[in-house]
């Protein structure tokens, strides 16, 4: 059972920056994809960015050029550097990890961390 612990959320003004971190522990297999999703009240969770173990990244169009995802494979930690934040970035951000154990993939989610961008 993989546990994901997020940190780094908070309140920031428009144009500011925040860095989210998420550490995975308890894996008995291999952590492949990691990433971040976000959700606002009454809406479905949406992809923000993902990164493979090989470093291939994928971003939502709304964050391209402003957010950067990275990871430390040795520590199973994923980061999300968020710059030029906008009010519409306000959401609960959840960390995601996909573990390959044998021939089966398991998906795990963190508890979520609130990011609030004030105008």
Q: Which residue has the tokens 């609960």?
A: 92
Burial, 69: exposed, middle or buried (Cβ in 10 Å; 0-12, 13-18, 19+)? buried
Average confidence (pLDDT) over 66-87: 97
Q: What is the mean pLDDT of residues 4-31?
A: 95
Contacts of 87 (CB under 8 A, 6+ apart): 14, 117, 118, 119
Q: What is the pLDDT of residues 39-76, one digit of tens each?
A: 999 999 999 999 999 999 999 999 999 999 999 999 99
For the chain, give the mean pLDDT. Answer: 96
Both tokens of 66, joined, read 């402003």
2-16 residue pLDDT tens: 999 999 999 999 999
In the β-sheet with 67-72, what is the strand arrangement from edge to edge?
3-7, 18-25, 77-82, 67-72
Retrieve residue 103's tokens: 């021939």
């Amino acid at each position: 059972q993989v546990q994901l612990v997020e940190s780094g959320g908070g309140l920031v003004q428009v144009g500011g920056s925040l860095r989210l971190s998420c550490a995975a522990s308890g894996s008995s297999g291999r952590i492949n994809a990691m990433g971040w999703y976000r959700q606002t009240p009454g809406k479905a969770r949406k992809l923000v960015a993902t990164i493979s173990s090989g470093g291939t990244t994928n971003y939502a169009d709304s964050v391209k050029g402003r957010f950067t995802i990275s990871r430390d494979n040795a520590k199973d930690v994923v980061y999300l550097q968020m710059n030029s934040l906008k009010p519409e970035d306000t959401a609960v951000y959840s960390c995601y990890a996909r573990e390959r154990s044998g021939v089966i993939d398991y998906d795990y989610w963190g508890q979520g961390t609130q990011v609030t961008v004030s105008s």
